[in-house]
Structure 1
Amino acid sequence: MSRLADVRFRAATAFQRRINPLLRRLPLQTVIETKGRVSGLPRQTPVGGRRVGDAFWLVSEFGERSQYVRNIQADPRVRVRIRGRWYAGTARLVPDDDPVARLRRLPRFNGLGVRAFGTNLLTVRVDLAEV
């Protein structure tokens, strides 16, 4: 990883550590809940994305370096809160998808942040089932 990419990663994660606890409390904020790969405890991460049919699509700005992506790799069973309603789902990484093209179809505000800070974009698809 380049020095610039590492600086962007550290700056973004430091910011997210402070803002994520506030964001995940907002009732309409979309949140993905994974199981901690070491602790086994639920981990909630605010995300931007869009539901398309029975799937929820999002783009991870740091790819496999993102903690929630690493948790998905260990256990793909997740929950997603969309507009205040929880859905169970199975997440999978879609490395063959074009994440920049995918961002164009996702909410604009989130897409701008992901593109601005992201260093290793990775598409994630969650196949949903209502809880």
Structure 2
Amino acid sequence: MAGFGDLRFRAVTSLQRNVVNPLARRSRSQTLLETTGRTSGLPRRTPVGGRRTGQEFWLVSEFGEKSQYIRNIRADPRVRVRVAGRWYDGIAHPLPEDNARARLRTLPRYNSAVVRAVGTNLLTVRVDLAD
């Protein structure tokens, strides 16, 4: 029998995959994380909430290692991030030792509230951006 966390994961990821993400990807103002599909080799764009600080971009994954984009990063950490309509190349670093709840307090408020509400396994990610 599936636990509550598994049911929440399936419900939220289904809603994100089928409704939220397709709509969000169309918005020029939406921040996107582009990874390379670990099986397909194709670019995979995921709407994310986060914040650029200097040459770093910070985000928190609500489902940690279960998130497809985290699994893609583990296979190939080279990513691109679209912030304010501009694309940046970078190298992503999942940081399980970081306090993800504390990190959320430094990121955009609305997205952080959603991540805290639905997340079951928070994981901080730092992207080192190229010039």
CA distance in 1, matches of 2:85, 2:77: 22
Partner of 1:10: 10
In 2: Cα distance, 1:65 partner to 1:118 partner: 11
How far off its partner does 1:22 sit?
1.1
Structure 1 residue 37 displacement after superposition: 0.1
Rounded to whole Å, the distance in 2 between the matches of 1:106 and 1:66 is 19
Matches within 5 A, 1:19-98: 19-98=20-99
Q: Would you say how many aligned residue pairs link Structure 1 and Structure 2? A: 129
Distance 2:84 2:71 in 1: 25
SS, match of residue 97 in structure 2 = coil
C-alpha displacement of 1:68: 0.2
Normalising by structure 2, we get a TM-score of 0.96
Q: Which runs of 5+ in 1 are unaligned?
A: none
SS of alignment partner, residue 93 of structure 1 = strand
CA distance, structure 1, for counterparts of residue 128 and residue 69 of structure 2? 16
CA distance in 2, matches of 1:21, 1:34: 16
Offset from partner CA, 1:73-94 (integer Å, 9 cap, x none): 0000000000000000000111
Q: Which amino acid aligns with 1:9?
A: F
- 1:27 corresponds to which letter in structure 2? R
Structure-1 separation of matches of 2:130 and 2:27: 22
C-alpha distance in 2 between matches for 1:64 and 1:14: 17
The equivalent of 1:105 in structure 2 is 106
Aligned partner of residue 96 in structure 1, secondary structure: coil
Root-mean-square deviation over aligned CA pairs: 0.8
Q: In the TM superposition, what is the alpha-carbon distance from 1:114 to its structure 2 partner?
A: 0.3
How many Å separate the matches in 2 of 1:4 and 1:115? 16
Instruction: For structure 2, list consecutive stretches of 5 or more residues without a partner in the other structure.
Output: none
Partner letter of residue 116 of structure 1?
A
| Partner SS state of residue 119, structure 1 | coil
Q: How does 1:110-129 map onto structure 2 within 5 Å?
A: 110-129=111-130
Percent identity over paired residues: 67
The AA in structure 1 aligned to 2:96 is P
